[in-house]
Amino acid sequence: MANQLPEAIFPSSNNSMLLIAGPCAIEGLDLCLQIAEFLKKETEKRQIPLVFKASFDKANRSSITSFRGPGMDEGLRILETVGKAFEVPVISDIHLPEQADAAAEVLDIIQIPAFLCRQTDLLAAAARTGKPVNVKKGQFLAPWDMKNVVTKLKESGASQIMLTERGASFGYNNLVVDFRSIPILKNFGYPVIFDATHSVQLPGGAGTHSSGQREFAPVLARSAMAAGADGLFIEVHPEPEKALCDGANSLHLSSLPGLLDQLCAIKAILGESSP
């Protein structure tokens, strides 16, 4: 079995559940601090390890006029501020190999976007930083195809790897989730995260931007936890309707505590039934 993530980020207890959460894109320091404070409070109540996420650049937006974020320099500054303020690990995406080293100076985990999960140079650059790497499974890949992604990372020096399921393309502007992928991905020996909010995205579903069905995200999150996921990736916003990126599939921040209670209960049952 491969090395697990550091204890501070990913406890090894069977009853633990990692939460990666935050806004889709960095809209500003104040909003990130507001969301991080809420997340920290709610996860500490439930002894859930938290990683704060927000993208400094959304490079794969539907339209050239779509909001992308503040860029790498300002975005990393904001993430560093949030991480220090709440003593919480931070994660964000990189899109180019040359971004890896600068990102690694701030990020606790480097994330590879789903559309770029097969980009060998990007994976190798992330691996060479020595930081944990979270790779989102491409919407165009079968779960067993991620073995090649894992091999690229391992042969480039990575030992701390997470794999994230986020649905598969199904016809036009739609995704579906095959929950068999969670045990299949877990067979590679690394933690498996389920992206509950991007899995209900309708890519390009609103013409110049993506749409989504946030009402189904809790259903998928509960199902993924029951299927054995080690953690959840959930984008949240205090006012999703006003979010500058992926608001249609982001959860209302106020709805998260109830969902966390349900997820913890499911995780506890699984832990109790383990041999």
Please state the length of the chain: 275
Q: Could you tell me the domains of the chain?
A: 18-273 (3.20.20.70)
Which residue in the list 57, 195, 230, 246 is annotated as catalytic?
A: 246
Tell me: pLDDT of 11 over 60: no
Select which of 14, 84, 187, 261 is catalytic.
14
Give residue-wise pLDDT tens across range 30-47.
999 999 999 999 999 999
pTM of the model: 0.92
At residue 212, φ and ψ (nearest 5 deg) are -175, 170
Q: CA nearest 33: which of 76, 84, 67? A: 84
Alpha helices in 132-231 (DSSP H): 146-155, 181-186, 217-226
Whether residue 15 lies in the annotated active site: no
pLDDT tens-place string over residues 132-153: 999 999 999 999 999 999 999 9
Alpha-carbon gap, residue 198 to 74, rounded angstroms:
25
Burial class (CB in 10 A: 0-12, 13-18, 19+), 186: middle
121 assigned to active site: no
Which residue spans within the chain are E strands per DSSP? 18-22, 50-53, 90-93, 109-112, 133-136, 161-165, 168-169, 175-176, 192-195, 201-202, 211-212, 231-237, 251-252
Per-position DSSP letters for 97-119, written without gaps between them: GGGHHHHHTT-SEEEE-GGGTT-
Closest by CA to 161, choosing from 123, 122, 217, is 123
The answer to whether 41 is a known catalytic residue is: no
- Catalytic residue, chosen from 53, 58, 136, 152, is 58
pLDDT in tens, 177-205: 999 999 999 999 999 999 999 999 887 65
Which tens digit of pLDDT belongs to each residue from 261-270? 999 999 999 8
